[in-house]
Amino acid sequence: MSVSTEASQAGVATIEVSVSGGEAKSFPSGITAREALRECGIDGTEFFAVSVNGIPMDLAASLTQSGSIEPVSFSSPEGKEIYRHSSTHIMAQAVKDVFPSANVTIGPAIEEGFFYDFAFERPFTPEDLEKIEARAHEIMKADLPVKRLEMSKDEAIQFFENKKESFKVEIIKQIEDDRVSLYQQGEFVDLCRGPHVGSTGQVKALKLLTSAGAYWRGDERNPMLQRIYGTSFPSQAELDDHIANLEEIKRRDHRKLGKELDLFSVQDETGPGLILWHPKGALVRLLIENFWREQHIKHGYEMVYSPHVARLDLWKTSGHVDYYKDNMFAPMMVEASEYQLKPMNCPFHIMVYKTHLRSYRDLPIRYGELGTVYRYERSGVLHGLMRVRGFTQDDAHIFCRPDQIEEEVRKVLDFTFFVLGHFGFTEFELYLSTRPEKSVGELGKWDQATNALESALKGGGFSYKIDPGEGVFYGPKIDLKIRDALGRAWQCSTIQIDFNNPERFGLTYVGEDGKTHQPIMIHRALLGSIERFFGILVEHFAGAFPTWLAPTQIKILPITDKQAEYAGQVRDQLLAAGFRVELDDRNEKVGLKIREAEKGKIPYMLVVGKRESESHQVSVRKRSDGDLGAMGIPDVIQLIGKDMPLNELAPSSIQR
């Protein structure tokens, strides 16, 4: 006899529950999610949690309301988060077992893994991590049941005070609810909302990766904690694949390659988060910027330049002082007025718009600028080129009529795919971000702008996801993420609708009816930060830039001094043909020259020996293909020219 039949005969209150969109069934109120799945014939071994009416819960949770259940496994984003958050508890228990004096703080799941912060008297060493990981594996093997507990706030505070866990006490005191939940496995108990796996044995493969310092709550005024990073997977094979991928990520790290290839540096004397571009890196950046400017002019944009500072009043008018102050450097006094290093370019473009009376016939107006901005990022989050304090945005602002929004957004999307396609990116993810909790403007205008963005996405046939509440304070936006060679997603491009600043700055145009109207402003960036995009390119290509972007495209390698004169003639011919060429005429063995050129990621190496000199040829080596044999200079020019296509990918050729 089934549980539901027994309940019905006994007169117990019942609820109606459907599993994975199936037919609803009656169950006694209070049945656990695990029992409900079993009654529906679903084997729960591959699942470790459920989503009940959209709310994640433990398999042991009691069901008291009718609704729908979705089993949760590692294959879903929610499942990965639950699995890895459970892994943080295993790691925290291991830390407490190995180092009882350590205090626990917080330990969330993150993309591809998890971390936990501990208050400990010294940094954790690699040897410490080995001991902690070994203990974690013992906890997993013990297959300890994971149980949910509930207490009043006062009881929980007393519980953790008895354990001398002051950080947990601080967290509990800031919780608004009268009751809190805790999770227990063996002797270890942690404050947590949950849900979690049913037992520690459900975590099959776990690896601790590294440790680092981190301030409590991310504030440098607070105590320094010791953070341990790790990851976990349902199988050792998946974990091994992930570790191999992490090793490849290390090999491609733009900071490592930037130093090896002499592209850029960050120096203490200059200041954290401020980039010094070395000649080779600066040349690649110049090529990127030249392409950007040429294509923007072709696509109807006008170039502008703006200063690096402005009166603070400008940022008060724009709303940045109210909504962005924590990310701005402190103002400076100039002749009794406060001036601000610019965190954005947009107010300057607005001021350019205001210099003339505009007609509806003038719109849309598109201003583009590679504008350097400055933002106060905390030292703990600075990361090479990816997170800096001074960077250049590939910025543009479009001023248009409300009826032009959809068409302009669609043009920006197509332009974005073309530009990113030129750099070898063809896989994208699109997100429509809606009104955040902290925002300005009328709801009607938000709806109008959001609908225009959605219509542009649908009209262009683009697949996208809704990102609720992630718009900027002045309007909704479309964010575009690219996938690199390792499958990682990077957010570069953004398209933002702004009806707030045109109102704040009193922007107008004369309509067809002879009356003044307010234009709509579209903020957009295609590459995002030039610095960050450069870092992404370095890692995407593992430092081996395509020929058109390589700072040195060709290196000529004479075997002996006797071929130096002919090698110089070859260099001059290739320079005249427009290539970037270097001549390595050092008195070194050619094998060493080849190895160094390969290490420098040079696309083409031209070896010149006695035979080549006499036949007026060169022996061609290509970075990716090896020895291509002897060729005359005209053939070399034609070969390398074919390796530098414009690569103008039409939108239809890119995955949408």
Spatial separation of the C-alpha atoms in residues 329 and 384, rounded to whole Å: 20
Is residue 8 predicted with pLDDT exceeding 80? no
Let me know: does 353 contact 489? Beta carbons within 8 Å.
no
| Confidence bin at 25 (pLDDT 50/70/90) | confident
**Could you tell me the strand order of the sheet in which 188-191 lies?**
146-152, 179-185, 188-191
Cα separations in angstroms, 246 against 84, 281, 487, 491: 17, 25, 12, 20
Q: Which helix (H) or strand (E) holds 536?
A: helix 530-540
Give the pLDDT of residue 320: 85
Choosing from 393, 404, 496, 617, the catalytic residue is 393
Choosing from 207, 252, 387, 397, the catalytic residue is 397
Burial class (CB in 10 A: 0-12, 13-18, 19+), 69: buried
629: tokens are 């044999």
Question: What average pLDDT does the chain have?
Answer: 91
DSSP code for 28 = E
Give the pLDDT of residue 380: 76
More confidently predicted of 247 and 648:
247
Question: What type of residue sits at position 389?
Answer: R
Spatial separation of the C-alpha atoms in residues 59 and 19, rounded to whole Å: 13
Is 242 known to be catalytic? no
* Helices (H) then strands (E): counts for the chain: 20, 33
Is 393 known to be catalytic? yes
Name, in order, each residue with C-beta under 8 angstroms of 576's C-beta and a sequence gap of 6 or more: none
Using DSSP, state whether 489 is helix, strand or coil: strand
Tens digits of residue pLDDT in 176-229 = 999 999 999 999 999 999 899 999 999 999 999 999 998 888 777 889 999 999
Name, in order, each residue with C-beta under 8 angstroms of 79's C-beta and a sequence gap of 6 or more: 48, 49, 72, 73
User: Which domains does the chain show, CATH number per domain?
Assistant: 3-72 (3.10.20.30), 79-249 (3.30.980.10), 265-540 (3.30.930.10), 554-642 (3.40.50.800)
Let me know: does 203 contact 232? Beta carbons within 8 Å.
yes
| Confidence bin at 654 (pLDDT 50/70/90) | very low
Q: How many CB atoms lie within 10 A of CB 356?
A: 9
φ, ψ for residue 262, nearest 5 deg? 60, 55
Is residue 166 predicted with pLDDT exceeding 90? yes
Choosing from 395, 479, 584, 585, the catalytic residue is 395
Indicate the range of 293-297, 358-362, 458-462 predicted with least confidence.
Answer: 458-462
Query: What average pLDDT does the segment 247-260 reach?
Result: 96
Using DSSP, state whether 146 is helix, strand or coil: strand
Is 395 known to be catalytic? yes
Using DSSP, state whether 149 is helix, strand or coil: strand
Spatial separation of the C-alpha atoms in residues 412 and 430, rounded to whole Å: 13
Tens digits of residue pLDDT in 565-613 = 999 999 999 999 999 999 999 999 999 999 999 999 999 999 999 999 9
> Which range in 68-72, 121-125, 379-383 is most confidently predicted, on average pLDDT?
121-125
| Pairing state between β 302-303 and 365-374 | parallel
Token look-up 């309007």 returns 475
Is 523 known to be catalytic? yes
Using DSSP, state whether 153 is helix, strand or coil: helix
Indicate the range of 29-33, 113-117, 390-394, 631-635 predicted with least confidence.
Answer: 29-33
DSSP code for 64 = -
Give the pLDDT of residue 44: 63
Let me know: does 391 contact 531? Beta carbons within 8 Å.
yes
Long-range contacts of 566-572 (CB under 8 A, 24+ apart): 566/608, 566/612, 566/613, 566/616, 567/608, 570/606, 570/608, 570/618, 570/633
- For 527-543, letters b (16+ CB in 10 Å) and e give bbbbbbbbbbbbbbbbb
Give the pLDDT of residue 11: 52
Is 346 known to be catalytic? yes
Choosing from 84, 296, 375, 411, the catalytic residue is 375
| Confidence bin at 67 (pLDDT 50/70/90) | confident
Give the pLDDT of residue 3: 46
Choosing from 445, 477, 593, 621, the catalytic residue is 477
Burial class (CB in 10 A: 0-12, 13-18, 19+), 403: exposed
Choosing from 346, 479, 496, 584, the catalytic residue is 346
Is residue 342 predicted with pLDDT exceeding 50? yes
> Which range in 51-60, 204-213, 471-480 is most confidently predicted, on average pLDDT?
204-213
The full DSSP string for 502-518 is HHHTT--EE-TTSSEEP
Choosing from 358, 411, 523, 540, the catalytic residue is 523
| Confidence bin at 441 (pLDDT 50/70/90) | confident
Using DSSP, state whether 483 is helix, strand or coil: strand
Using DSSP, state whether 152 is helix, strand or coil: strand
Query: What average pLDDT does the segment 41-69 reach?
Result: 85
Give the pLDDT of residue 1: 37
Spatial separation of the C-alpha atoms in residues 445 and 448, rounded to whole Å: 5
Is residue 482 predicted with pLDDT exceeding 60? yes
Is residue 22 predicted with pLDDT exceeding 90? no
Query: What average pLDDT does the segment 148-171 reach?
Result: 94
Is 397 known to be catalytic? yes
Give the pLDDT of residue 656: 40
Upper half-sphere CA count for residue 559 (Cβ side, 13 Å): 9
Is residue 112 predicted with pLDDT exceeding 70? yes
Query: Percent of the chain having pLDDT more than 90?
Result: 75
